[in-house]
Structure 1
Amino acid sequence: MNEPENLPKQVGRYEIKRLLGAGAMGSVYLAEDPRIKRKLAIKVVKLDAIRNEADRNEFLARFQREAEVSGVLNDPGIVTIYDVGDSEVGPFLAMEFVPGKPLDSLIKSGEMGRMPLRTKLQIAAGVAAALDHAHAHGIVHRDVKPGNVMLTEEGRPKLMDFGIAKREDASLTQTGTFLGTPSYASPEQIKEGQATFRSDIFSFGVMVFEMLSGVLPFPGTSINTILYKIVNEPPLDVKPPVVGVLPERWQGIFGRVLCKDPEGRYASCAAFLRDLLDAAVDLDKNERLELMGVLKAGPGAVAPPVLQRAHDETMYVPPEKPVVRRTGLRMAGIALALAILGAGAWLLFRGNGARTVTVASVPAQAKVMKGGQDLGATPLPVPLKAGEEIVVARPGYQSQTVTFDGSSIPPVLLQPRITSEQLQTIPEGATVVMDGQTLPGQTPLSVALWDQSRKHEITFTKGDLTLPVTFLEGETPGTQAYHLVSAREAALTGEVKTVDATTPGTLRLAAEYPVRVRTEDRDLGEVAPGGRLELPPGTHRLKLANPRVFYSETRTVTLEPGQAVSLPLPGLVNLTVETYPGSGTVMINGVPTGVESDGSQPIRVVKGSHRVTIQGKSAAPQRVDLGADKYLKFKI
């Protein structure tokens, strides 16, 4: 790797040795702590990735959060954080230096595919142990992916980047904000912005699926396609099956770890790995025992007994759930259980007057809710009593409340939800192509009849900037403003960056004196030197004044949502006035200064053009353009 010319010599107190890697948002350097001569890795956010003070504070908060999490966790499978701070080159995080390779590079290069199954499972077991350790301490990682796993030179995995992690007793991110990496995100992160331990387990399942098969369980060529599949479709059926794993067990295990309902997933990463080890036919007894030893039992857990199989394989069997090996007896037991359950349900509903009716909707796959509980998607058999109500809802459609009349429920016809929406971009003035049709006007642009029951493809364009955006059923732009990017960046990343169009901008007055600020309709008060004030997005005509330094000016500023703008104001200089013969009170711009024009006392004045007169004297006004200290002498 070629060393960049602008490699910093120092970040904080740490001496930079060389560049380890760089990305769009930051760089990672090999560094040394001069106090204790310890090598470490320094992650630094690039300055051009920090658009405003809010961005800088957000990066610092994430680094601080990662450091706090590291303080809670102490595990050999988790990268240790040493320090966090700010510097001239940007916010930084000092962490344990792990010689090795990130797991995602091994997957992308094909090196992972050439590894034996035992090695892959050993890596997975190490990550599972680290994740379960974090969960046991109340930490949810929220961004489990191969890029956040380093593989040491000895082949041991180390989990890192807890920058968006969440403690169960604290929250540093807004509720409903989606954080994470799309391909590895759980359905609840995508739909609700919520993450729990089981969200991490889902992401871990995606990662292990990719490690073993070489493909993602929810592939797609666009972010929206990937997110839709994660929320609505089953995992990819791997063809041909993964060598060394029983195909019939593969589907059941990954169907459970990647279950859409968090409660349907494994309770821990270790439980998932144990089932996977049990399905791995290429492992002998000793290998399986060794890998199971890597996994950590949860608090208070007792390791289940190890049973010997006829074909010399070993598996864990929880004591309360002994394994039945005779398929015929197992199926008979299932049938008997279903019969008992069915009879019990019949007696229950018969006793309370309920009957089972099929709830259908047009279109299908609508959610059916009863008493606030989600029962499933249509068509769906539901036990109901006469007079009971259900709610049928689907994204993009108006929900319908239906009352059961005691006999049947006709198919529920759902009506599309039609709303008026505003399309907003940064910068403004973009043309809009919606579903193949160019809309009249430019952003900000109103769409009077937005059909939420349809998918919409929209492309914003302004000069060399563009952005394609896909809205699925039920999705609307709301109050979001969309950041336009170059066509190349749009094609490479596919990332859609938005900001709430109602987010106020921040105006910093770069001055060494206080300034009173008025808009056309209100007085914003006096702002301290170098102070900030928040203003709604848009163009503002501001009247700025400080009579004490003879400053008065009108400025026009334009703020984008969330943008921070610095407004430089004129500096101060000294003006000394001497008149002859005699003297009087100096007036600047018609305002008495209280200073005598005898040349003995300087007056603090803002730079610029001013009119100087002497109170009560008939001398002609003196026009001065001040750019530096000035001694003014004239006759009266």
Structure 2
Amino acid sequence: MAKVFTITEGLENMGALRTGGQGSVYKGKRMGAILSAVKLLPTPIHAENAEDKNFRDFQNEVEKLKKVNEDPSPNVVKILNSGLTESGSLPFIEMEYIEGPDLEDLLKPPHSPIFTIRETIKLADHLANALAHCHKVGVKHGDIKSNNIKFNTETGNYILLDFGLAVMSDEQRRSSLRHAGAVEFMAPEQHDGIMLFQSDIYSYGIILYELLAGAVPFPLINRVETSRNMVMLSHIEKQVPDLMELRRNRLPVEWSEEKKANEMMVPAWLLQVIEKCLQKDPEKRFHDGVSLYEAVNNNNQNVLNNEQVTSVINELKTENERLTNLVEQYQKASKAKAYMITGIIIFVCLTTFGINLVLNKRSTNAVTDSTNIVNKPTQPIKNHSKTAPKNTVSPVIPKENKDSLRTVPVSKKDSIKPKTTKDGLSNDVPEF
């Protein structure tokens, strides 16, 4: 890529990012792979000494910008360097290069024409923090508009860029705003070249209005002087159109009916902040970025918007369904377990009952058999002729003669005979 001109030693010009009446922004490259964004101011400085008013004003404002970086903010672009170009003697401010789209791009297709409530509140918080950070050290930005706020894709933060007007003199600023300023975002007093802390507050309100409504309150139809004057006059005299009506007409068709209904529930505190920021009289707005940030931060912490409430309710419903299903599973498992245990108990009981029944039956049979043996009548023994002994007949003897009688043998066996031995002697021992 051919260089248009040399910026400064060690800083390569890689081409214009954006050009305009208030100056141009170029992409720069330092030694190595470090990228930066370089803001070139349109008014040349011919002498780098205190006698040159332009140079003196530039130096004073640059010193203020350095204070912004003494305590870096995640929502304010870092100022890396400043000076005069080697060719053309144009003042420049070198800032970190932020990778990501700006708000103007995020409101164009394929993106939705409006922001969600959640994302609007996020930007409101980030941008209010950026203004508070700058206003604390006395720096007024003066040129807050859609393409001066970027979404950092690396950090997820919204970043305030381009402090070009901040380093201009009052006369340069007045001329620049009148002929090249973004009149759609300018406070009424800025059309007279006046820049206050409250001027940044007004532009902040226009930003939030644009995100919710999908358009600024007083759009610029074309760049001709007549259109610019009409917009300026509208900021001074006209009331802003109904934000909610514009939002309703710009709801994306691809959103569900439920989402559309939720996205129309913009928190009252957010609408009140926007209304206060857009007051015609600067004194009726927030005094500076510090008081603005306090209002936004307090409401953001203490009040849940409807989208968040719906999200929480949906999460609770999902969790409740999960727990209900879990309980049902436990109940089913418990019932099955109870049935199984009951079955086992019944089986054990029946088995025990059966065993006892068998044992009792056996015991009863044994007792019955024993009883039968004991109680069985004795059968008379039949006499057989062969085995029965011969009965003796005892004569009836009168009682008085009983003792005087001797026994008479009834058979030959019962008679006792003396035996004769071989020698002819008789044996007196009887033989039975």
SS in 2 for 1:18: strand
- Which residue number in structure 2 is paired with residue 211 of structure 1? 211
Counterpart mapping for 1:44-55 below 5 A:
44=40
**In structure 2, how many angstroms separate the alpha carbons of the residues matched to 1:110 and 1:140?**
34
Alignment match, 1:431: none
Query: 1:214: how far off?
Result: 0.8
Q: Please give the residue correspondences for 1:403-552 in structure 2 after superposition, counting only pairs within 5 Å.
A: none
C-alpha distance in 2 between matches for 1:101 and 1:61: 34
AA in 2 matched with 1:33: R
For 1:114 and 1:284, how far apart are their aligned partners in 2?
21
Q: How far is 1:24 from its partner?
A: 4.0
Q: Structure 2 residue aligned with 1:68, among 57, 63, 66?
A: 63
Spell out, residue by residue over 1:7-40, the C-alpha distance to the aligned partner (whole angstroms, 9 max, x if none): 55x5211342633513245554433333x86332
1:207 offset after TM fit, Å?
Answer: 0.9
Alignment counterpart, residue 33 of structure 1, candidates 22, 30, 34: 30
Matched-pair contact (CA < 8 Å) for 1:112–1:120: no
Q: Which has the higher strand share?
A: 1
Cα contact 1:127–1:157 (8 A) shared by 2: yes
Paired amino acid for 1:72: K
RCO higher in 1 or 2 (8 Å CA, sep ≥ 6)?
Answer: 2
Aligned partner of 1:87 in structure 2 is 86
1:264 to 281, 284, 290: 284
Of 236, 253, 274, the residue aligned with 1:254 is 274
Aligned residue in 1 for 2:253: none
Matches within 5 A, 1:104-143: 104-109=104-109, 111=111, 113=113, 115-143=115-143
1:228 is displaced (CA, Å) by 0.9
CA distance in 1, matches of 2:271, 2:234: 17
1:257 counterpart letter in structure 2: C
Q: Distance in 2 between matches of 1:93 and 1:38?
A: 16
TM-aligned CA deviation for residue 73 of structure 1: 0.7
Provide the C-alpha distance between the structure 1 equivalents of 2:271 and 2:37, rounded to a whole number of angstroms.
40
Q: Which runs of 5+ in 2 are unaligned?
A: 222-226, 249-262, 313-432
Q: How much has 1:233 moved relative to structure 2?
A: 1.0
The change in CA–CA distance for 1:251 and 1:229 in structure 2 (over 3 A counts) is farther
Match of residue 43 from structure 1:
39
Match of 2:186 in 1: 185
Of the structure 1 ranges 265-274 and 116-125, higher mean CA displacement relative to structure 2 is found in 265-274
CA separation of 1:259 and 1:53: change in aligned 2, threshold 3 A: same
Deviation sequence 1:421-456 (CA, Å, 0-9, x none): xxxxxxxxxxxxxxxxxxxxxxxxxxxxxxxxxxxx
How many angstroms apart in 2 are the aligned matches of 1:103 and 1:165? 21
User: How many angstroms apart in 2 are the aligned matches of 1:231 and 1:125?
Assistant: 27
1:224 equivalent in structure 2? 229
Does the alignment pair 1:156 with 2:153?
A: no
Q: What is the CA–CA distance in structure 2 between the aligned matches of 1:275 and 1:219, rounded to whole Å?
A: 32
Is 1:14–1:31's contact at 8 Å kept on the other side of the alignment? no
Rounded to whole Å, the distance in 2 between the matches of 1:51 and 1:85 is: 9
CA distance in 2, matches of 1:160, 1:59: 22
SS in 2 for 1:30: strand
Q: What's the TM-score once normalised by structure 1's chain length?
A: 0.38
Amino acid at match of 1:159: L
**1:229 offset after TM fit, Å?**
1.0
Q: Which has the higher helix share?
A: 2
Aligned CA RMSD, in angstroms, stands at: 3.6
Pick the structure with greater CA Rg: 2
Amino acid at match of 2:27: L
**Which structure 1 segments of 5+ residues have no match?**
288-636
Q: Give the one of 282, 293, 305 matched to 2:307.
A: 282
Distance 2:278 2:60 in 1: 28
Deviation at 1:273, TM superposition (A): 3.0
Q: Structure 2 matches for 1:276-425, cutoff 5 A? A: 277=300, 278=303, 280-284=305-309
Q: Could you give the per-residue CA deviations for residues 227-282 of structure 1, whole angstroms, max 9, x where no partner exists?
A: 11111111111325453444866654433221111222234332553587548421
- Aligned partner of 1:41: which letter? A
Kindly indicate whether the alpha-carbon contact (under 8 Å) linking 2:208 and 2:274 is maintained by their aligned counterparts in 1. no
Give the corresponding residue for 2:10. Answer: 14
Closer, same or farther: CA 271–228 of 1 in aligned 2, 3 Å: farther
Q: Is the 8 A contact 1:63 1:163 kept in 2?
A: no
- Report the CA distance shift for 1:61/1:205 in structure 2 as closer, same or farther (over 3 A): farther
Task: Check the 8 A contact 1:44/1:90 in 2, yes or no.
Answer: no
Number of aligned residue pairs: 272
SS across alignment from 1:101: coil
1:173 aligned residue = 170
SS in 2 for 1:100: coil
C-alpha change, 1:229 and 1:205, in structure 2 (3 Å) is: same
Rounded to whole Å, the distance in 2 between the matches of 1:41 and 1:217 is: 30
Supply the distance in 1 between the matched residues of 2:173 and 2:152 (Cα, whole angstroms). 36
- Does the C-alpha gap of structure 1 residues 150 and 23 become closer, same or farther in structure 2, counting only changes over 3 Å? same
Structure 1 residue aligned with 2:296 = 273
Aligned to 2:331: none
Between the aligned partners of 1:70 and 1:161, the Cα distance in structure 2 is 11
1:255–1:42 CA distance, 2 compared to 1 (3 A): closer
Any idea what SS the aligned residue of 2:15 has?
A: strand
CA distance in 1, matches of 2:64, 2:20: 25
SS in 1 for 2:101: strand
Partner Cα distance (1:217, 1:174) in 2:
28
Q: CA deviation at 1:59?
A: 7.9
**Amino acid in the other structure paired with 1:88:** S
| CA drift at 1:283 | 2.4
SS at 1:255's partner residue? helix
> In the superposition, relative to structure 1, how do residues 41 and 189 fare at CA in structure 2: closer, same or farther (>3 Å)?
closer
**Deviation string, structure 1 residues 584-617 (Cα, Å, up to 9, x no partner):** xxxxxxxxxxxxxxxxxxxxxxxxxxxxxxxxxx
Q: Distance in 2 between matches of 1:193 and 1:229?
A: 17
AA matched with 1:148: N
Tell me the distance in 2 between the aligned counterparts of 1:21 and 1:63: 23
